[in-house]
Amino acid sequence: MLYSRPEPDPPELWRTQEAVKLLAYDPAWSAGAAEEAALIRDKCKPMVLRVEHIGSTAVPGLTAKPVLDLMPLLQDFESGFGCVVPMRTLGYWYAGEYGISGRHFFVKGNPRTHHVHMLVEGSPDAVRHLAVRDILQADPHTAAAYATLKSELAGRFGHDRERYAEAKSGFMQVLLKRAGVQ
């Protein structure tokens, strides 16, 4: 099916300069992610095959920014364009690919409460997100090391989310290598 290609929403709506604020793990994150995933599946069917909870809020016990990262998986990239209007009805802003080719990125909340990374099932980025989540969920020692790094980096880059994220990339590369993912 062919979908129109909607323009991303104006960056001033979704690209805010919020401080990096880490909180202790909250079990409500899992329930909140499941509820939001169900809404996304319902609004975006049949384009969305399934929705995965990724990122630090998906790892029990891990400190995290209180922003739920969800990853709806699509059969093909074009299908994501068909989700833009339904996602907007759920309160999301559409950011286009926002620096990652093959991704439809959505942001909700002010301050942010949700990030949605809509990717093609089996794509390299989808595989990487799942590998990192799965390692952190399975290995408490690695999760603890990651929590320590995040705390240190939040202290250094607390008002610059992009530098905070970039500074974690070395740790992420180690995890991906360990998982055998490129």
Residue 96 domain flag = yes
Coil, strand, or helix at residue 29? helix
Query: How many domains does one find in the chain?
Result: 1
Residue 1 domain flag = no
Residue 6 domain flag = no
Residue 58 domain flag = yes
Domain of 21: which CATH number?
3.30.460.10
Instruction: Report H helices in the chain.
Output: 11-14, 28-43, 84-89, 124-138, 140-157, 161-167, 169-179
Per-residue model confidence as pLDDT tens digits over 22-63: 999 999 999 999 999 999 999 999 999 999 999 999 999 999
Per-residue model confidence as pLDDT tens digits over 54-67: 999 999 999 999 99
* Parallel, antiparallel or unpaired: strands 114-120 and 68-74: parallel
Is the pTM here over 0.85, yes or no?
yes
Burial, 181: exposed, middle or buried (Cβ in 10 Å; 0-12, 13-18, 19+)? middle
Cα separation, 109 vs 15, in Å, equals: 11
Residue 102 domain flag = yes
Provide the mean pLDDT of the chain: 96
Name the amino acid, one letter, at 10.
P
Structural domain harbouring 24:
11-179
